[in-house]
Amino acid sequence: MDDVAIVGAGLAGLTLAAALRQAGVPVRVWEQTRTFGTVGAGIQLAPNATRLLHRLGLRDRLRDTAVRPSAIEMRRWDDDAVIARTELGTACERQFGAPYLTVHRADLHEALLGLLPPGTVRPASRCVSVTENDHGATLHFEDGTTDTATLVAGADGIHSAVREGLATDRPRFSGQTIHRALVPAGRVPELLVDPKVVLWLGPDQHAVSYPVADGRLVSFGATVPAATWRTESWTAAGSPGDLAAAYDGWHPQVRRLIDGVDTVSRWALHDRDPVPHWSGRHVTLVGDAAHPMLPFVAQGANQAIEDAIILARCLTETDLSIPEALQRYEQLRRERVDRVHGLSRGNATTFHVDDGAGRRERDDTLAAERRLQEQAWLYGYDAAELPIR
């Protein structure tokens, strides 16, 4: 492998670039944005991703910038009663050998960027299409320039231009939008005493909070059903007033979080069926480009990081040709990613059950399902040790 071009310097693209570089493969990453700011809000990183990030060299960086929550709790929207609890903290680390962490996306992004030599990422380069030939692929950019490589990896996210050459995008509006904000921790100090990931589940909507940025900020996300809002972008602005109105009557803890919001983004959640094929002969997809999913298992970035490690290993630890290595990568990833995708879709219903007869049944199921030992299939997976040959 001597010539890899990655499209998209998000979490998938940077992890892939770092893994390939550490295996001795030169890479370049084409990114549409001119500068990286503090894009995105919080990301939950489960042991299936943190063990990989530790191996890449980010153990200290994560310790300094992330928060290690003691548990995930699902609570009722009105009285704050705990429905289900997944023990994290030391119990999780003991069981899976790696921590569950919550980070600001910008902190993780900057840490990954720091693993690459200057010049690896080529900004202000929007790829519009990729064409393949027998020996490689050509990238076409918006400004009319091109680049060629023996392998192109599309890590260009949910609206992937690289995916367009492999499959048609068929998003369906889910009927839900999500508001996301970062609240200064000083406005909700009670949430920092014993840091946790908390989900409040109510009829037709739910809210999530957890501290990030070494406990300086609290990441807050709240779904709101909507008939007409359709913008699927992290940078679309929402209104704190609309958010407050949608959560009128919810528990005071949720209201305090909303009162602490200065600015909020609003993102329309679209559902997509699994993408039928991720790879051609010299082109493949990683992360959201390969498996866009609803964010209701908090695993999109975790799965992107796993993809990157497995793809890098298929390319560098086997003697397969590039087309064969891409097929192996897809084979190894497919079942697991489809399972997470299905769970995310299922949670769109589970999280929003109304207060009628089905709620008790839902609560009992969640209480049993969410125990730490039930998460072994998800958190115990080690992409760096998985047999790939």
- Residues involved in catalysis: 210
Q: CB-based burial of residue 215 (10 Å sphere; 0-12 exposed, 13-18 middle, 19+ buried)?
A: middle
In terms of CB distance, is 81 or 308 closer to ligand FAD?
Answer: 308
| Residue corresponding to tokens 């940078």 | 235
Q: Are 62 and 115 in contact (CB under 8 A)?
A: no
Assigned token pair, 306:
């796993």
Cβ atoms of 91 and 68 closer than 8 Å: no
CA geometry: angle 84, 274, 50, nearest 5 deg: 50
Task: Provide the binding-site residues for ligand FAD, judged by CB under 6 A.
Answer: 7-13, 30-33, 43-44, 126-127, 155-157, 161, 178, 180, 221, 267, 287-289, 295, 298-302, 304
Q: What minimum distance in Å lies between the beta carbon of 67 and ligand FAD?
A: 13
- Using the minimum distance from each CB to ligand FAD, give the nearer residue, 32 or 70: 32
CB 115 within 8 A of CB 57: yes
Of residues 167, 170, 169, 161, the one with CA closest to residue 130: 161
Position of minimal CB gap to ligand FAD: 10
Q: Nearest distance from residue 39's CB to ligand FAD, in Å?
A: 8
Question: Quick one: which of 298, 297, 223 has its CA closest to 266?
Answer: 223
- DSSP-derived secondary structure letter, 67: B
User: What is the total residue count of the chain?
Assistant: 389
Which residue, 36 or 320, has its beta carbon nearer to ligand FAD? 36
Residues 71 and 88 sit within 8 Å (Cβ to Cβ): yes
What one-character DSSP code corresponds to residue 275?
P
CB nearer ligand FAD, residue 175 or residue 359: 175
CA distance linking residue 344 with residue 340, whole number of Å: 6
* CB 33, min distance to ligand FAD, A: 5
Nearer to ligand FAD, 161 or 198 (CB): 161
Q: Which residue has the tokens 């809000």?
A: 41
Bridge-based pairing of strands 217-225 and 205-212 is antiparallel
Q: How far is the CB of 356 from ligand FAD (least distance, A)?
A: 27
Give the angle 3-106-273 at the CA atoms, nearest 5°.
70
Closest to ligand FAD by CB, 76 or 126: 126
Distance CA 179, CA 266 (A): 4
**Residue whose structure tokens are 């840490």:** 111
Minimum CB separation of residue 264 from ligand FAD in Å reads: 12
CB of 79 to ligand FAD, least distance (A): 26
Query: Residue 230 or residue 360: which is nearer to ligand FAD going by CB?
Result: 230
Q: Which helix (H) or strand (E) holds 310?
A: helix 300-316
> Which residue carries 């709620």 as its tokens?
359
Min dist CB 16 to ligand FAD, Å, is 9
Comparing CB distances to ligand FAD, the nearer of 138 and 318 is 138
Nearest distance, CB of residue 242 and ligand FAD, angstroms: 17
253-268 burial string, b = 16+ CB within 10 Å, else e?
Answer: bbeebbebbeebbbbb
